[in-house]
Structure formats: C-alpha cells, structure tokens
Structure 1
Amino acid sequence: MSFYTSLNGLKNAQTDLGVISNNIANAETNGFKKSTVAFSDIIAGSAFTNPKLMLGIGATVEAINQNFAQGPVEQTGAALDLVVNGDGFFTTRSAISGDTLYTRNGAFEVDDNGYILRGGNRLQAFPTDAAGVVSGNTLQSVQVPPTNASGAQFAGVAVGKNGVITASYADGTNVAVGKIALATFLSPGGLRQEGSANWSATGLSGTATYGEPDSGFYGGILSGALERSNVDLSEEMVGLITAQRNFQANAKAIDTATQISQTIINLRT
C-alpha cells in the first residue's frame, strides 16, 4: 500500500509543480490570474472498521483554484489601454465564431473597420446617444465612425471613468459611441480559462450579470494603463521549493518501501 500512497503523493506534487510553473511563466502576462492547488486526504474503510485503526491512503487533487485578486497597474499612456479598477470583466465577442469571452486584459485597439477589439475579439458595450446616456440593454460591438455627421475625420478616442467611449473629430466635436459593459459572476472561480487572458462562462460560474462601470459594486475604468499579472514571484518561488521537497519526500518514501520489501525477500530466501 505504501507504494501507491507515495505514488499518489508524487503525482500531486507534480501537479503542484505544474501549476506553480504556469504561474511563473505568466508573471508578465497582462490580466493573468494565478492558480493554486487544493488537496484532500483519502481514507478507506467500511462501517465496521475501527475508527482508531483506519489508515489514510494518500491524497488527491481536490481543485485548482483561480485567484482573481487585482494585479498591479502599469501606466502606458495609450487611450485604449484600460483597467477595471475593481470588480468586473471586459466583455468581448469573436467576430468569427460569435463566442463571448471575458477578460481583465484591457489592451484594446481600433481596427480598419473602426471596431475596438483585442486579439480579434470585439469589445461589447451598452448603446448610448451622442451625449453618452445609455439607450438600451442589448450589448453591441463598439464601432467608431470614420467621419461624423458633418463629414469631419476621426481624430481620436477617449474612455471615461464611467466607461463612456467618446470619439473626437477634426472639427472639434465629440460623440459618444457606447458605454463599456462590465460582467460579474456569482462564482468567478468556475470560469473556464480559454488562453490569452480570456475566460468563458460555465455552469459552475453562472451566467454573467452586466452593469455600468463606476456604479454599484462595478469598478471604474482607468484609461492609459494596463493590469499586470497578479503573480507574486517571491511567493511562487517559496511554493516551488515546497513542492520540490514534497516530491523528493514521496520519492524517498518509495525508496524506503523498496528497501523494506527487499529485506523481507532476502529473509525468506
């Protein structure tokens, strides 16, 4: 039994090492959220087993939990580099598949069609009138017109703390083109990681609840900055050493069990 108990320990330590390694590898990934491994013990016995004689048979991985604490903020100066200063995820939609993805990485840009996007996924917002007042609850992709009603050319874009996206034109006029919609979840730990600092909703996370930035418990929008990874390298290095020691200890337990078995075999022969 000791062989299998220690083998489980090796597998668990390997999983822990893998999670920590992934955290360290993404220490510079904007919007990345670190994960931690939760373990639970395994006990085998029946209703007739003396509880004072029950023997544990190792441990198993109970969950790999995501930590959605906010990461440090880095100033960039770019108008479409955005940070959610508090709770909430940016909502984006793939122009190809139509899938809805959620992210904390606000490194957006304007494409040649005027859509504000990141990695091919278009930013979703509440529709507004020209003054920035929300006019509906149906989310839509934010598109900046190349010219305004007077025919003046697009000159730039700005995003307010309240999430209103304002396009500026060469004649000095400003027109609101939408208000960023932030998403929250009943259980964000149930979100599925999709890569590129994107998440998708699952049955465990619940459906998204949308709200306006800087209202209620939704965070405000900080323009000209990006949220960095929330990985603490010092903490991860300590965890890495601990996981390595656990791996070595379980390997040593297997080696000890092997020596004991060999001794017994030698006695019998």
Structure 2
Amino acid sequence: MSFNISLSGLNAAQKDLDVTSNNISNANTDGFKQSRAEFADVYANSIYSNPKTKVGDGATTATVAQQFQQGALKFTNNTFDMAVNGNGFFAVGSGINSSDLLYTRAGNFKLNKDNYVVDNQGNYLKVFPVNPDGTSASAALSTAQSLQVPDSVGTPLATSKVDINLNLPAGDTTHDVANFDPTDSSTYNNATSVTVYDSLGQSHTMTTYYVKPTGSTNTWNAFAFVDGKPVNIAGSSGPSYTDPDTGTSYNGYVMNFDSSGQPSDPATVPATLTTDPLSSVLDNGADGTQTITLNYSNQTQYADSFTVNSISQDGLTVGRLTGVEVGTDGLVRASYSNGTTEPLGRVALVRFANEQGLSQAGNTDWKASTSSGEPLAGEAGTGTFGNIRSGALESSNVDLTKELVDLITAQRNFQANSRAIEVSNTLQQNILQIR
C-alpha cells in the first residue's frame, strides 16, 4: 500500500513540475495565461472499515486550473497589435465565414495577402458590422464577419456646391460684355478657379469670369465654364455668352450691390445660382444630370483689390488608403487620401461565465465548452467588457519569481516521495530476510 501511496505522490509532484515548467517556458508568450496544478487526497472506505484507523490512499490531480488575471501591456508601433485592457477575448475563425470560433487574448494580428486581418495561425479576426456613421448594426456573434481592409479606393463624391467668398473692387475698369472672350484677359476683370469632381471622382476645373459692364457702377456680370466649356446658369436673366464653336448661347448672371458694398436685392438676385446639368461637359460616363450650386452669400464690392477670401467645394476624388486606426471602443476606421474616413467594423469581444472552464486549443487559443458556458458577445467599453488598446500586446501573466519557487517546492516533493518509496523498499527487503 505504501508503494502506491508514494507513487501517487510522485505522480502529483511530476504533474506540478510539468505545469510549472510549462508556465516558465511560456513566460514570453503573448496572451498566455498561467496554470496551477490543484491536488486532492484519495480516500476509500467501506461500511466495514474503521474510519478512525483508515489511512488515505495518496494524492491525485484534481484539476489544472488556468489563471486569467490581466497580463502587463507592452506597446508596439503596429496598429493591428491589440490588447484587451480588462475582461473579454478576441474571436477568431479558421475561415472567412467560419462559425466555429476560437477565443484568444493574444492580439498580435496582421494582414494576409487578401488584406484580411489574421493572427499568426491565419485565423480571421471577427468584427461586428457597423453603419456608415460608425454605430454598430449588430453585436451578435451570428452576424460577426471577418475584418478586411480595402486598399484600393475611397468612394468618390460628385461636387454639388461651390462656396465663393470674394470682394469685387469698386471703381474697377469697365468692359463691353458683348466682347467677352475667356481666352482674352483684356475682355474681363478677374477670374476664379476651383477643382470640382464628377460622380466617378474625375477632377474638372470650374472657372468663373467676372466682368464689370460699361456704364455700370454697382453691377457685375459673371460667366461659368467647366474645363473651358461654357455652362448655362439655370433661370438667369443675365447677359449671355455665345460659344464661337457651336453658336450656342449660355446665360451668365448679374450681381448688384448697394452703396455699402453689399448685395442690393438678395430677393431678386439670389446668393445661390445653379448650373444646368453638366451632360455637355462630362463625356467620361459620369452622371450627366449633375448640377453645381454656386453660393455667393458672402460677396462684397468694396474699394479694395479683387480678393478671394475663400473658395471651397463639397466633392471628393478617388482616395487611396493612407492609414487604419482602432479606437478604444474597438471601432476600426480606414483613412483615405481624399480626406474621408470609413468605418470597417467593430472588434468583437466575448466573455464567459466560467473562464476556467474553457478548453485549451493551443497557440494561446481557447474553445467554449459545457463547463465554460455559452460565449457572450459585446462591444469594448460596454458592460463588463474591457477597452481595446491598439498598438499594444498583453504579455504573459507568468510571474517568473513565483514559478521558480514553485519549481523548487515541486522538486522537494518529488524527492520526498522518492525517499518514501526507497524506505518502503528497504522495509520489504528486511521482512523478506527474516528467518
């Protein structure tokens, strides 16, 4: 009996050594959670035994319990390195549309050849879909999708409005509007240009020419051109310009000012004017119904030089990817060279009622089990879920000092049980030698 008891002690000490060695070997493994060997005594009894004199039957390993306390954060320069500061696991899948998920605290992610965010084993990081404004469309694991970063283009936006804030010089030289020629600078006073975009993101130059007509003091005429082609101003009663190539006439518009240099009658001379559809200008397959509204709400006529205080438009060209950032709430945004940002998804976090019930799957991954309970999904920073730190990794939570002390203790236990076996063997030999 003593042999079996000591042997069980040897097995327990060996298990303790194995667990401690595994912890030490993974001291530098990101996202690793240390384990602890927990033991119980073995006791067998029957109704015919005397419990007062019964000796135990040794020791057994009750469980190897994982310890999920937070590891220290170490900071990197990689946006896709992520750490959960608090409760929660990242969800990853072996396939793009895989529903068989693994859970990990190791956030050393990167892009694969198809621009999907994956871990070192090629598992795909799962995110919740989001609306264009960045709010979550759903926070359920059943709707989670693999995160892909588009590297091609940002969506272009056709220009619909041009805001022009300028001063037209009072007392400037007058010209005969009938002689206006955009190729001859002596037939007009000044001009402004701005780059506008069609529905395909192609750029075009919109130029406005300003002419102070003969015999006028507080009136200006203006004509709009896109890529050197005249554009008709819808509903305008201003002077017209006849294209010498086609013989077509295009309306300009009139701007009247009062004695204080302000628009004299905004009711009859509106601050906004709209062009006709640009179908005659756009020949690249873009939307020909596009119109552009010119906003002159801040125009003035002062005794100063011609000054363009500001000129802007609301269109966007095609944009190339310039960067990706991950917020503390897990929202992943892509930035493009055209100044736009696009939400790509929100990193899915998962928690369990009993983390120690998770089944180890290797590579610092875990799987749900009946002991852990069902995975509960949520967003970072909500409820009991922690925040996400981009550009950081969670280190192993192994305390090397403690593990080395445990290693010595386990070694002592092993030696003591070995000695017990040796003593039992000596006693058996002595008994066999009795004559």
Range of TM-score over shorter length: over 0.9
Shift of 1:117: 1.2
In the alignment, which residue of structure 1 is the partner of 2:10? 10
1:121 to 98, 118, 123: 123
In the alignment, which residue of structure 1 is the partner of 2:28? 28
* Structure 1 SS opposite 2:427: helix
Q: Counterparts in 2 of 1:94-113, with a 5 A limit?
A: 94-95=94-95, 98=98, 99-113=100-114
Match of 1:111, as an amino acid? N
Q: Tell me the distance in 1 between the aligned counterparts of 2:93 and 2:33.
A: 21
* Structure 1 SS opposite 2:57: strand
In the alignment, which residue of structure 2 is the partner of 1:134? 136
In the alignment, which residue of structure 2 is the partner of 1:149? 155
In the alignment, which residue of structure 2 is the partner of 1:193? 360
Conserved 8 A contact 2:97-2:145: no
1:253 to 420, 428, 431: 420
Q: Tell me the distance in 2 between the aligned counterparts of 1:200 and 1:132.
A: 30
Q: Deviations over 1:131-176 (max 9, x none)?
A: 2101123111111122221232112110001110011112221111
Match of 1:116, as an amino acid? V
Shift of 1:223: 1.0
Conserved 8 A contact 1:129-1:177: no
Match of 2:326, as an amino acid? V
User: Computing the radius of gyration over CA atoms, which structure comes out larger, 1 or 2?
Assistant: 2
* Structure 1 SS opposite 2:42: strand
Of the structure 1 ranges 169-178 and 29-38, higher mean CA displacement relative to structure 2 is found in 169-178
* Structure 1 SS opposite 2:18: helix
Q: Tell me the distance in 2 between the aligned counterparts of 1:174 and 1:112.
A: 23
Shift of 1:8: 0.8
In the alignment, which residue of structure 2 is the partner of 1:42? 42
In the alignment, which residue of structure 1 is the partner of 2:76? 76
Match of 1:121, as an amino acid? N
* Structure 2 SS opposite 1:106: coil
Shift of 1:96: 7.4
Shift of 1:220: 0.5
Q: Tell me the distance in 2 between the aligned counterparts of 1:97 and 1:259.
A: 65
Q: Tell me the distance in 1 between the aligned counterparts of 2:145 and 2:365.
A: 19
2:388 to 201, 212, 221: 221
Match of 1:10, as an amino acid? L
Q: Tell me the distance in 1 between the aligned counterparts of 2:91 and 2:38.
A: 29
Conserved 8 A contact 2:96-2:145: no
In the alignment, which residue of structure 1 is the partner of 2:180? none
2:326 to 138, 146, 159: 159
2:374 to 194, 204, 207: 207
Conserved 8 A contact 1:6-1:254: yes
Q: Tell me the distance in 2 between the aligned counterparts of 1:16 and 1:77.
A: 38
In the alignment, which residue of structure 2 is the partner of 1:177? 344
Match of 1:78, as an amino acid? N
* Structure 2 SS opposite 1:56: coil
Q: Residues 97, 57 of structure 1: CA spacing in aligned structure 2 closer, same or farther, 3 A cutoff?
A: farther
Conserved 8 A contact 2:10-2:418: yes
Q: Deviations over 1:210-229 (max 9, x none)?
A: 00000111001111110000
Q: Tell me the distance in 2 between the aligned counterparts of 1:145 and 1:129.
A: 17
Q: Tell me the distance in 2 between the aligned counterparts of 1:205 and 1:44.
A: 30
Q: Which runs of 5+ in 1 are unaligned?
A: none
Conserved 8 A contact 1:167-1:176: yes
Conserved 8 A contact 2:75-2:392: yes
Q: Counterparts in 2 of 1:53-68, with a 5 A limit?
A: 53-68=53-68
Q: Tell me the distance in 1 between the aligned counterparts of 2:155 and 2:374.
A: 38
Q: Which runs of 5+ in 2 are unaligned?
A: 157-317
Q: Tell me the distance in 2 between the aligned counterparts of 1:243 and 1:31.
A: 26
User: TM-score normalized by structure 1?
Assistant: 0.97
Q: Tell me the distance in 1 between the aligned counterparts of 2:363 and 2:322.
A: 30
Shift of 1:110: 1.8
Conserved 8 A contact 2:96-2:146: no
Q: Residues 213, 97 of structure 1: CA spacing in aligned structure 2 closer, same or farther, 3 A cutoff?
A: closer
Q: Quick check: which one's helix share is greater?
A: 1
Q: Tell me the distance in 1 between the aligned counterparts of 2:320 and 2:88.
A: 33
Match of 1:79, as an amino acid? T
Conserved 8 A contact 1:69-1:230: yes
Q: Deviations over 1:41-60 (max 9, x none)?
A: 01121123222111101010
Match of 2:129, as an amino acid? P
- Percent of paired sites with the same residue: 46
